[in-house]
């Protein structure tokens, strides 16, 4: 495994993008964040604002009508949206997750057909890998795809699918050769409007309540053969390659929610007075804030480093340590987010424990970053294998 960690600095354009997204997020997304969480409703206002400013799918190349933003710019967009609303940050992040398999392995026709509408804001893209009995062990999936002339017929149920029912397009992994194990899994694009596609009830979740999580149910779903993404049997390889890129966006979400919690807590401790002075003047409080900021910055540096590696890989360069750094930044940033948001609740005391203040929502939202796109226990296994191989 390469230990080469080249120096970098976000460009002036990256910092301008951050400022633009932060202003938009604070003006158009933050005012609705608590209501979105309380009602468990999809953040349509956030989607409208992101689409209006071409920030809903910034990773799509210009050749398909997108902004063509690099991986670091994509991280910054997701980070800044998550700083005010984690549910809303799942719009750009899941659009990337659902469409990266097409970018990595899809035919040119498939890319034009599905990336262009997403770039125009006409459709969102979700990713359907997990099943009820195939979570961390995704290769044990049961969903089947059987060839029938110029079509494939899909049957099965996918679990924990983010933005299910809202997204128009789904990358679906299904078994095409049961005897071949992981090498018998293929990837397909399924459309919401395909006959036989339905959705389970919304999961009742701890956090990210504005982003619907539902089963995607496939009952004799007949799709054209050209909806196969890449070669038959290459789906699981595509799935793993996708996660090398998109775990970095989970790290971006974690950074954003952690930064949002720290920013709010700092504002609070400067105003809150006890024993005749602001609690920010007490050394114990200062040490907490210093540790929170230090850990966020460490996670941010690793995440940005991973984003640059991801960009190089997307451009065709062989990046041997991408798997390691993507797992590392996801694992570190999400652990930091859970710790920082919990500490933010502590800094606000009793107020932090109420829904009148945003840090309890941020703490609930942060938890999922340690679980989805591979639990942090799985990330540690992935990293160890990379080191020991």
Which domains are delineated in the chain? 12-119 (1.10.540.10), 125-233 (2.40.110.10), 236-388 (1.20.140.10)
Distance of alpha carbon 16 from alpha carbon 18, whole angstroms: 5
Helix and strand element counts for the chain (H, E) = 11, 10
Q: How high does pLDDT run on average in the chain? A: 97
26 catalytic per annotation: no
For residue 268, the model assigns a pLDDT of: 98
List of long-range contacts for 200-208, beta carbons under 8 Å, 24+ apart: 200/157, 202/40, 203/160, 205/368, 206/364, 206/367, 206/368, 207/37, 207/86, 207/361, 207/364, 207/365, 207/366, 207/367, 207/368, 208/86, 208/87, 208/90, 208/365, 208/368
**Model pLDDT for residues 226-283, shown as the tens digit of each residue:** 999 999 999 999 999 999 999 999 999 999 999 999 999 999 999 999 999 999 999 9
Q: Quick check: 35 and 85 in contact, CB under 8 A?
A: no
> Model's pTM, two decimal places?
0.96
Burial of residue 109 (CB within 10 Å: 0-12, 13-18, 19+) is exposed
Would you place residue 7 in the very low, low, confident or very high pLDDT band (cuts 50, 70, 90)? very low
72 pLDDT above the threshold of 80: yes
6 pLDDT above the threshold of 50: no
**Model pLDDT for residues 24-59, shown as the tens digit of each residue:** 999 999 999 999 999 999 999 999 999 999 999 999
123 pLDDT above the threshold of 80: yes
Among residues 79, 311, 360, 373, the one annotated as catalytic is: 373
For residue 345, the model assigns a pLDDT of: 98
1 pLDDT above the threshold of 60: no
Q: Quick check: 136 and 378 in contact, CB under 8 A?
A: yes
Mean pLDDT on 343-367: 98
Distance of alpha carbon 14 from alpha carbon 156, whole angstroms: 42
Tell me 182's DSSP state: G
139 pLDDT above the threshold of 80: yes
CA distances from 353 to 198, 340, 361, 368 (A): 38, 15, 9, 19
């Amino acid at each position: 495994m390469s230990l080469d960690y080249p120096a970098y600095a976000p460009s002036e354009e990256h910092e301008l993008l951050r400022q633009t997204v932060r202003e938009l997020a604070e003006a158009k997304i933050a005012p609705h964040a608590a209501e979105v969480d309380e009602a468990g409703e999809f953040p349509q206002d956030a989607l409208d604002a992101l689409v209006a400013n071409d920030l809903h799918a910034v990773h799509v190349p210009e050749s398909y009508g997108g902004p063509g933003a690099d991986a670091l710019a994509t991280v910054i967009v997701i980070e800044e949206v998550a700083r005010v609303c984690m549910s809303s940050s799942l719009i750009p992040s899941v659009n990337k997750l659902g469409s990266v398999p097409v970018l990595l392995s899809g035919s040119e026709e498939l890319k034009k057909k599905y990336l262009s509408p997403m770039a125009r804001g006409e459709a969102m893209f979700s990713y359907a890998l997990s099943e009820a009995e195939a979570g961390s062990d995704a290769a044990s999936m049961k969903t089947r795809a059987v060839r029938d002339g110029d079509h494939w017929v899909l049957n099965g149920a996918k679990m924990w699918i983010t933005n299910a029912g809202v997204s128009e397009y789904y990358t679906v992994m299904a078994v095409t050769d049961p005897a071949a194990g992981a090498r018998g899994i293929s990837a397909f694009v399924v459309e919401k409007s395909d006959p036989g596609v339905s959705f389970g009830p919304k999961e009742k979740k701890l956090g990210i309540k504005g982003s619907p999580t539902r089963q995607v149910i496939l009952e004799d779903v007949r799709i054209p053969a050209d909806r196969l993404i890449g070669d038959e049997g290459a789906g699981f390889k595509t799935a793993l390659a996708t996660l090398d890129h998109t775990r970095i966006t989970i790290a971006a979400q974690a950074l954003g929610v952690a930064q949002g919690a720290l920013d709010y807590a700092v504002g609070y401790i400067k105003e809150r007075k006890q024993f005749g002075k602001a609690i920010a003047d007490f050394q114990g409080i200062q040490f907490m804030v210093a540790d929170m900021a230090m850990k966020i910055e460490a996670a941010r540096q690793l995440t940005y480093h991973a984003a640059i590696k991801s960009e190089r890989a997307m451009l065709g360069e062989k990046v041997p340590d991408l798997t390691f750094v993507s797992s590392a930044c996801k694992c570190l940033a999400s652990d930091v987010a859970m710790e920082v948001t919990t500490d933010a609740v502590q800094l606000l005391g009793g107020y932090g424990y109420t829904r009148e203040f945003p840090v309890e929502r941020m703490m609930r939202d942060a938890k999922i970053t340690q679980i989805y796109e591979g639990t942090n226990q799985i990330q540690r296994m992935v990293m160890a294998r990379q080191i020991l191989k």
